[in-house]
Structure 1
Amino acid sequence: MDVLDLTRLQFAVVTIYHYLFVPLSISLAGVAAGLEIAGRRTLAIFVGKLLIVTFAVGVVTGLVQEFQFGLGWSAFATFYGDVFGPTLAIEGMLAFFLEATFLGLWYFGRDRLPRALHVATIVVVFVGTLLSAFIILAANSFMQNPVAYTLDPDTGRARLDSFTGLLLNEVNLAAFPHTMAGAAMVGGALLLGIAVWRRADAGFAPLARVGAWITLAGGALTALTGDHLGKVITRVQPMKMAAAEALYATTTGAPFSVFAAGRPGEEPFVSIEIPRLLSFLVAGDPDATVQGINDLQAQYTAAYGPGSYVPMVPVAFWSFRLMIGAGVLAAVLAAAYLWFHRRGGLPRWLLQALPLVPALPALANTFGWVFTETARQPWLAFGISTTAEGVSPGLTVPEVVASLAGFTLVYGVLAVVWLRLVRHLSRQPLDPAPAPAPAAESAPVY
């Protein structure tokens, strides 16, 4: 692997690991706020403790991610600094400090603040997580669909014309609700898994129902918002959706492969297809024409010059299906819990499966980002510059390998710490026995 490949791998490791905690923080903040508003303070405290642990690890991994920009992608930062700078500054100085400050007020102000004011603090934390996500997604959406910028004729750098235009990028407006729905699934599945694991403690029973409903609702919203996002992506990045289906020839009434065996684009390749479904998904019309990889490659060559503009089709093809499969399975297990719980008992197979359900939405999110970023290649910012142009000049293979090993070691330690803390918190009773009242002092004898 050369410097470009290693640097891409490093950024993938850093970003994917960081994103394991981001959606969890968002959803746990929302659940804690909802429980506080509903007056379920005991459950709110438990969820809030999970939030604090997750938020702390997310902060550390987020700082490493920003450090990685300067380490491996200084050319990218130089070229797009005027576009990304405002988003990172606002996210850090406004959203992050908003979350951190009010999370502290919520946790330490429980018996010190008036009830309404105390509830408001955790609501502000949740709003801060949403604001942070929206701003960061706007930066990523620029890479998918560059808007609201001009290229400086003297320096060649991208300059931001409108911060509002950056935020209102059509990709961002479609990606934000889809990302938040996926975040809801992550948090709901974690609470469901913990509650079923601790089913011997009756206090966790309401949390299991809350987690199951959030996972199921998040799954339904993920599907609906994903349908809209797919249509938007097809308009701005048709190559990405063609790679998702390994569609090499332009096709009218294109099918969608539910299951496939083999390597996309090579023989033998066998797939189970639903006729015309891809055309419906990308255009809302089962008879729509979907551009194929070969025609798009010819168009991009004419527009941008010689070179390959085809992403890694097998990665796009399988990550897209693994994303959908993991998300659907999580929603099905949540629905199964609600169904059997209503009927009075959970089958053994479900009791064994549910403690593992938190991994499914996390995998779905991971595969979703793998698809989003790898299927954009070779572009760093679509149609403007390639990924190879963003790597730090002078970077060597040993430097990237050493930093990647260091990040991996630190992240491994953080993973163990987070898991142990979550397990410790989950083992504590939700309604601990009250401390015994101090014995009355004997009357003094004179």
Structure 2
Amino acid sequence: MISLVSLITYDIFTLLRFKKLFQLKRDHWIYFIIAIAINAIITAAAYILLDSRFAVYMVFVSFMISFRLLFSGTTTQTLYAGSIYLFSLYSSRGIVFSIYSIALHTSIKNVLQQHDDIISVLAVLLSIFYFLMIRDVIVPRQKARYLMNNQGQLKFVVIYLFFQWLFLTLINDGRYYDDVRQNWYSTLYMGSCIISNLWLLVILNHASRISELFEYELFTHQLQEQLSRQMRHYQSYRKFTESYRAFRHDYEKLMGSLKTLMRRQEYKKAIKLLDDIHDTMQRSVQIHKDYSDNIVLDAILQDAADVCEEKNIRFQAHAHLPESASMTELEIVRVFSNIINNAIEACNKVSEFERFIEVTSNSTQDWTIIEVTNSFNGELLIANGEPKTTKKDKDYHGFGLQIIRETIEGMGGLVFIEPDSEKGIFKIKSCIPINPRSKANETV
């Protein structure tokens, strides 16, 4: 009974920890109870009906079932959750009963028969301490999120956990051989568990650092792209102002000539001169169209309009983003550059006469809603309720929607994704909260 309570405690701690790392699929407390019950029942039944060497595999499977019930995650993330859960508990248990065996000068087999409940409690406490050390010292929450999103590095961690788990299960088999020197075996088992855990800390630190650097590389690339957009936006506006100055210089002379013709009542010549002025204006003054009242968003949309013109994509946009919206310039870049890039990529996969991108917005007292609608070919890869990239290099693509969701939801906003495969229309709504302080300042 004590062992079962310890397991339930460990399940609660682990699931609450994962709640901070993964997107919830079901948030109601009843599902957490069901998930814990599934793992506890399967684990208890496995250890009652099966040999302990095979029961651990059932524990691994049952926890992954519980994880998939609660969280939206990839296959790699699910394997990581199951393997880190089992490895931590299994290795902690190995350390505890090895110490008991050495201290009491008896075999591990005897220790498990006489002190199993105490060992279970201590193993759970050691596992919780290990998780806390990972979270607070080795891989803080933000780094852990980077690692969970980097499928390549996460696969590396999962492979390590799997092989270390197999290694420890092979060493665990030694307790069934009576001819093995027990003191030597207990020391070997304890040393193997400690070294495996230390190496896991090293690997987690290394993988999380690589994932963080990769995230910074993506972020830097986005900033470089935005700088290029800003420069193109500036050049476009500069050409507009220069052409307008030149036209205005000629305009003053032309208006003088027009006044003279009107005084002489030479109306036909005056009308012809007006037509010439209009043609000159259309020909010489560069058109600079504003797509947003926010200069950063306007630069993104201006650049998108140029790309759409090259790719024969019908582009229409007007996005109002007030200063009171809870978005920094960097957040605007991360969200809307990804949305627009995804829309252009989707339009490239349909015929030219079907291609379109439309950006609209509306505001309420508390929210600004920017909606981007685009055509797509109706083919959508869905995983855990989220559209996924169809590119071959999935380790380095497919971050767009994830970045959009994390950025918007991180500021207290909402993201709604509405694909219509039958009509071939993909719609994404970004609901951005209005900053109460900014709103108060505007009122004043």
Is TM (by shorter chain) over 0.5?
no
Which of 1 and 2 has higher RCO (CA within 8 Å, sep 6+)? 1
Structure 2 length normalisation: TM-score? Answer: 0.28
Structure 1 length normalisation: TM-score? Answer: 0.28
The structure having more radius of gyration, on CA atoms, is 2
